[in-house]
Amino acid sequence: MRALTFIFALILLVTQCVTVAATEEYCLEAGEVIFDTSSSCDAVPTIRRVYGAKRFMWKGVDCFAVSTGNEIDIYNVTDPKHPVLFERSNFRMGNVGDEDTGLYNFSFCDDCRYAVANYSRGSVFVDLGTKAIPEFNLFSKDVSANLIHGSFVFKNGSQLYLVAEHSNCVYSGLHRYNNEDDREFVECIDVPGQVPRVVHGEHIDEALYLADSTKRVFLFNDELDYISTPCIAYSITDSGMSFDGDTAAVANNTGLHIFNVSDSLAPVEVGSVPGNWDRSSINGDKVIVAKMGVKYSERTFDISTLDDIIEMDAQFWSSTHPWNFPPPAQGDECTSIQAVHFIDESTIYLLRESRLQIINVIDCPVTDDIFFSNFETGDTSEWSNTVAN
């Protein structure tokens, strides 16, 4: 009987150990729906959709700009659980043919007065004003700027710059962006043996990471000297390249790649997870990735230990999870993933074409121990499960 008691206790201990080993620190839950047009999946410009987003600061306010078909909404996300819509564009650029949206890309930067939006019909250059919130009241259109469908604004010191197409270049050139009507050409974006078509970028310390329409990311210094091509990342509408402090997360067709960018001109890959994605967003030690247009492709990772990157709550993104079912009337047609954004350590914004939704990051429920921690001492007096002799 003593042997049976020991065997039963050992089985319970093994069960406990397996449970503890599988415990995750972070879990996910579906939160508030911010924007929803899923009642109809008709592909017409008058029905607003969500295709991509950019984040920027404006006079101390945390802003989230979302493409909604052919226009752009700006939300105040200082309280990310309760975003407030405070501006909506009215550019009226129109579409070409039967395309669902004519808006391919747009770019804002922190406390930058001027922004840009790129359409199939041309580009819109925007003066956001000087008030407490950004406004779309002043803008100019250039219908000839429709070759690249992308551009990038950034500030170096007090000077605002624009990387966009220019007639002096094969494709992309650098401009001093003085106002919506004054874009002073500086020089062409030059990469040996390549012809960049810049659609997106990041300005990190002394480095410019310029993403090309063919997924290449070109690294330049502030003098616009080409340094290297450190990675590939799809960057049309939204981006597979994201940064937070000294860390970058790059999602591409080989997986998730984590880079140390403490030396912004010499990024070093420090961790990876195999996969196939083209959207990424990083906040602290958490990363979310997805593949645009592919349902249930979202994945979340804890990268706090780079040699042992842990997937967070994989079951949450499964097609079998109740929250993840599309409404019956729409099927798969307009629920495909477009973009993912970590707003803060506990809040993800999920853009699924017809829906902008909050996903909350929460602490996982704790499983009660089967035994007290004194098992290794041999003292069974406080065990919750014992078998009498």
Give tens-digit pLDDT for 115-133.
Answer: 999 998 889 999 999 999 9
Domain identity same for 16 and 36:
no
Q: Of 184, 215, 237, which residue is a domain's last?
A: 237
**For residue 39, what pLDDT is reported?**
81
Residue 213's pLDDT band, with cuts at 50, 70 and 90, is very high
Residue 218's pLDDT band, with cuts at 50, 70 and 90, is very high
The number of folded domains in the chain is: 3
CATH (domain of 226) = 2.130.10.10
Domain identity same for 30 and 19:
no
- The residue among 238 and 47 whose pLDDT is bigger is 238
Domain identity same for 221 and 88:
yes
Does residue 93 carry a pLDDT above 80? yes
Domain identity same for 319 and 246:
yes
Average pLDDT along the chain: 86
- Domain of 17 in residue numbering reads as 1-23+366-389
Give tens-digit pLDDT for 154-195.
Answer: 999 999 999 999 999 999 999 999 988 899 999 999 999 999
Q: Of 221, 237, 253, which residue is a domain's last?
A: 237
**For residue 329, what pLDDT is reported?**
46
Domain identity same for 253 and 311:
yes
**For residue 94, what pLDDT is reported?**
76
Domain identity same for 59 and 141:
yes
Domain identity same for 18 and 44:
no
Domain identity same for 162 and 32:
no
Domain identity same for 102 and 196:
yes
Domain identity same for 226 and 139:
yes
Task: Give the whole-angstrom CA distance, residue 286 versus residue 54.
Answer: 19
Lowest mean pLDDT among 101-110, 173-182, 315-324, 372-381: 372-381
Domain identity same for 113 and 86:
yes
- The residue among 316 and 329 whose pLDDT is bigger is 316
The mean pLDDT of 376-382, rounded to a whole number, is 55
Domain identity same for 210 and 150:
yes
Task: Give the whole-angstrom CA distance, residue 54 versus residue 110.
Answer: 11
Does residue 260 carry a pLDDT above 90? yes
